[in-house]
Amino acid sequence: MSKVLVTGHKNPDTDSISSAIAYAYLKKQLGVHAQAVRIGEVNKETAYALHYFQVDPPVFADEGVRQDVEEIILVDHNEAQQSIDDREKYNVVEVIDHHRIANFETMAPLYYRAEPVGCTATILLKLFKENNVDIPKDLAGLMMSAIISDSLLFKSPTCTDEDVQAAKELARIADTDLESYGLEMLKAGADMSDKTPDD
Amino acid sequence: MSKVLVTGHKNPDTDSISSAIAYAYLKKQLGVHAQAVRIGEVNKETAYALHYFQVDPPVFADEGVRQDVEEIILVDHNEAQQSIDDREKYNVVEVIDHHRIANFETMAPLYYRAEPVGCTATILLKLFKENNVDIPKDLAGLMMSAIISDSLLFKSPTCTDEDVQAAKELARIADTDLESYGLEMLKAGADMSDKTPDD
Ligand SMILES: [Mn+2]
Ligand SMILES: [Mn+2]
Ligand SMILES: [Mn+2]
Ligand SMILES: [Mn+2]
At position A154, the amino acid (one-letter code) is: F
pLDDT band at B2 (very low <50, low <70, confident <90, very high): confident
- Are A112 and B112 an interchain contact pair (Cβ–Cβ within 8 Å)? yes
- Are A112 and B101 an interchain contact pair (Cβ–Cβ within 8 Å)? yes
- Output the pLDDT for position B187: 96
Do you know the residue count of chain B?
Answer: 199
B198 touches chain A (CB under 8 A): no
- Are A110 and B101 an interchain contact pair (Cβ–Cβ within 8 Å)? yes
Residues B50-73 have a mean pLDDT of: 97
Distance, in Å, from the CA atom of B82 to the CA atom of A104, rounded to the nearest integer, reads 17
**Smallest Cβ distance to A114: which of B109, B116, B158?**
B109
- Tell how far the Cα of B78 is from the centroid of ligand 1, in angstroms: 24
- The secondary structure of chain B as a DSSP string is ---EEEE--SS--HHHHHHHHHHHHHHHHTT--EEEEESSPPPHHHHHHHHHTT-PPPEE--HHHHTT--EEEEES---GGGS-TTGGGSEEEEEEE-S---S---SS--EEEE-SSS-HHHHHHHHHHHTT-PPPHHHHHHHHHHHHHHHTTTTSTT--HHHHHHHHHHHHHHT--HHHHHHHHHHHT--GGG--S--
For the ranges A1-10, A97-106, A152-161, B121-130, which has the lowest average pLDDT?
A: A1-10
Residue B193 has pLDDT above 70, yes or no: no
Residue B48 has pLDDT above 70, yes or no: yes
Tens-digit pLDDT profile for residues A120-138: 999 999 999 999 999 999 9
Tens-digit pLDDT profile for residues B77-123: 999 999 999 999 999 999 999 999 999 999 999 999 999 999 999 99
- Tell how far the Cα of A185 is from the centroid of ligand 2, in angstroms: 16
Residues of B with Cβ-Cβ distance to A158 under 8 angstroms: 109
- Are A101 and B102 an interchain contact pair (Cβ–Cβ within 8 Å)? no
- Are B100 and A109 an interchain contact pair (Cβ–Cβ within 8 Å)? yes
Residue B197 has pLDDT above 60, yes or no: no
Residues of B with Cβ-Cβ distance to A108 under 8 angstroms: 100, 116
A80 touches chain B (CB under 8 A): no
Across chain A, mean pLDDT equals 95
Ligand nearest to the CA of B17: 4
Distance, in Å, from the CA atom of A6 to the CA atom of A36, rounded to the nearest integer, reads 5
DSSP state of A90: S
- Output the pLDDT for position B186: 97
Output the pTM of the full model.
Answer: 0.93
